[in-house]
């Protein structure tokens, strides 16, 4: 049985999503909790592997259980729960994690045929928060907001962000990984100030390569500070190589907010399509 899990976490005290020997990670904490409930060997497959310090409010993962593990699922506790106990699993996980944990599972449901948390996704949306000199510092927001000691021009940042949208090779805004493609479709990128003046970015793409969102944010901050102009962020992207003009901003301001999936009948075909690695010939096609 394949189960979908909807997950949220404060990444401050995690060394990222992926399990690592001797380190506290989101995957490790959740898999240990699940093992206590259903036993046996198991592995979570996630929509987006977040880095150390990055948060999530809309992370998605899936889990495959064998017959023995399915038999250990919690019994139905209230009307409307699935008879196999899948819906009750989220509550059992929260019980194992204890009061006020920095990670939680809000929902567990039986995954439809063809669903793959990673490969079936059609887009991921991140939110990034910055407090500048206009905003001021709020200690209650320190774990999810990056502070920039400058007065930022949000209109220039928004123009720079929108100029990057489209299908491109984003190698200049990614940390290189062997055998990994850097060709991505950036679907949405904009900046605004909220009611208290905090700068908020919404960044949505079919997928992201390593450090891509924080590098894109760094480019727009450089524009907002007046260190580079709007045209320069496009020139950096088109150089297809890391340049010293911008920097990768801190993880604390970044939240994985939402993952989008196609209609149920398209899940399997989307997963197959995603597994086919894109190359430079795909740009402009």
The string of DSSP codes covering 252-268 is: GGEEEEEEE---GGGHH
CB-CB contact of 167 with 262 (8 Å): no
Verify whether residue 282 is a known catalytic residue: no
Domain-embedded: residue 90: yes
**By the 8 A CB rule, do 75 and 91 touch?**
no
pLDDT of residue 77 exceeding 80, the answer is no
- Both 84 and 10 in one domain: the answer is yes
The answer to whether residue 12 sits within a structural domain is yes
The answer to whether the beta carbons of residues 41 and 62 sit under 8 Å apart is no
Per-residue pLDDT of 196-248, as tens digits, reads: 999 999 999 999 999 999 999 999 999 999 999 999 999 999 988 777 777 89
CATH code for the domain of 202? 3.30.70.660
101-135: pLDDT as tens digits: 999 999 999 999 999 999 999 999 999 999 999 99
* DSSP-assigned letters across all residues of 89-151: HHHHHHHHH-SS-SEEEEEEEEPPTT--TTTT--EEEEEEEEE-TTT---GGGTTT-EE-SS-
Looking at the fold, whether 62 and 184 belong to one and the same domain comes out as no
Domain of residue 49 covers: 2-110
Handedness of CA 276, 279, 284, 285 (dihedral sign): negative
Quote the pTM value.
0.92
The closest of 125, 124, 115 to 263, measured between CA atoms, is: 115
Residue 276 lies in a domain: no
Asked whether residue 66 is assigned to any structural domain, the reply reads yes
Q: Do the Cβ atoms of 214 and 254 come closer than 8 Å?
A: yes
- d(C-alpha 109, C-alpha 82), whole Å: 8
| Same domain, yes or no: 36 and 99 | yes
Residue 106 in any domain: the answer is yes
Residue 191, classified by CB atoms within 10 Å of its CB into exposed (0-12), middle (13-18) or buried (19+), is buried
The answer to whether residue 175 sits within a structural domain is yes
What's the CA gap between 91 and 70, in Å, rounded? Answer: 16
Question: Residue with structure tokens 């919404």?
Answer: 202
Rounded Cα gap, residues 219 and 197, in angstroms: 20
Q: Choosing from 51, 116, 158, 169, which is the catalytic residue? A: 51
Sign of CA dihedral 150, 151, 156, 157: positive
Kindly state whether residues 84 and 139 are assigned to the same domain.
no
Q: What is the pLDDT of residue 284?
A: 45
**70 & 139 share domain:** no
Residues 74 and 150 in one domain: no
Give the sign of the dihedral formed by CA 156, CA 161, CA 162, CA 164.
Answer: positive
Asked if 176 and 242 sit in the same domain, the reply is yes
In this structure, are 104 and 128 located in the same domain?
Answer: no
| Residue 250 and residue 166 in one domain | yes
SS3 (DSSP) at 185: strand
The residue among 110, 140, 168 that closes a domain is 110
- Is 92 a member of any domain? yes
Number of folded domains that form the chain: 2
Q: Does residue 82 form part of some domain?
A: yes
Domain boundary pick from 110, 139, 161: 110
> How confident is the model at residue 80, as a pLDDT?
53
Q: Find out whether 126 is annotated in a ligand binding site.
A: yes
Q: What is the pLDDT of residues 15-62, one digit of tens each?
A: 999 999 999 999 999 999 999 999 999 999 999 999 999 999 999 999
User: Between 79 and 98, whose confidence is greater?
Assistant: 98
CATH (domain of 86): 3.30.70.580
Give the residue, 281 or 185, on which the prediction is more confident: 185
Strands 55-64 and 254-260: parallel
> How is residue 17 written in tokens?
């999503």
Residues 57 and 150 in one domain: no
Residues 69, 156, single domain; the answer is no
Judge if 212 and 147 occupy the same domain. yes
pLDDT band, very low/low/confident/very high, at 285 (cuts 50, 70, 90): very low
- Please give the Cα distance from 14 to 10 (Å, whole number): 8
Write down which residue in 87, 110, 133 finishes a domain: 110
């Amino acid at each position: 049985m394949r189960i979908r899990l909807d997950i949220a976490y404060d990444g401050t005290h995690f060394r990222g999503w992926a399990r690592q020997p001797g380190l506290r990670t989101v995957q490790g904490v959740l898999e240990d909790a699940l093992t206590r409930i259903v036993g046996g060997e198991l592995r979570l497959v996630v929509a987006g592997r977040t880095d150390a310090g990055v948060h999530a409010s809309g992370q998605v993962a899936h889990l495959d259980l064998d017959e023995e593990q399915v038999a250990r699922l919690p019994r139905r506790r209230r009307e409307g729960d699935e008879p196999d106990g899948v819906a009750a699993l989220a509550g059992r996980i929260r019980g194992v994690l204890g009061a006020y944990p920095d990670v939680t599972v809000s929902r567990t449901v039986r995954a439809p045929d063809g669903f793959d948390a990673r490969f079936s996704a059609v887009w991921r949306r991140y939110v990034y928060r910055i407090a500048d000199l206009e905003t001021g510092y709020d200690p209650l927001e320190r774990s999810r907001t990056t502070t920039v000691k400058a007065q930022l021009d949000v209109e220039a940042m928004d123009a720079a962000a929108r100029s990057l949208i489209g299908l491109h090779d984003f190698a200049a805004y990614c940390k290189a990984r062997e055998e990994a493609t850097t060709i991505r479709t950036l679907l949405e990128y904009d900046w605004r100030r909220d009611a208290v003046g905090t700068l908020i970015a919404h960044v949505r793409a079919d997928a992201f390569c390593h450090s891509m969102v924080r590098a894109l944010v760094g480019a727009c901050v450089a524009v907002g500070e007046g260190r580079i102009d709007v045209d320069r962020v496009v020139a950096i992207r088109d150089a297809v190589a890391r340049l010293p003009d911008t920097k990768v901003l801190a993880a604390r301001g970044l939240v994985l907010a939402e993952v989008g999936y196609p209609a149920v009948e398209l899940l399997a075909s989307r997963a197959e399509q995603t597994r086919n690695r894109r190359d430079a010939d795909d740009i402009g096609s």
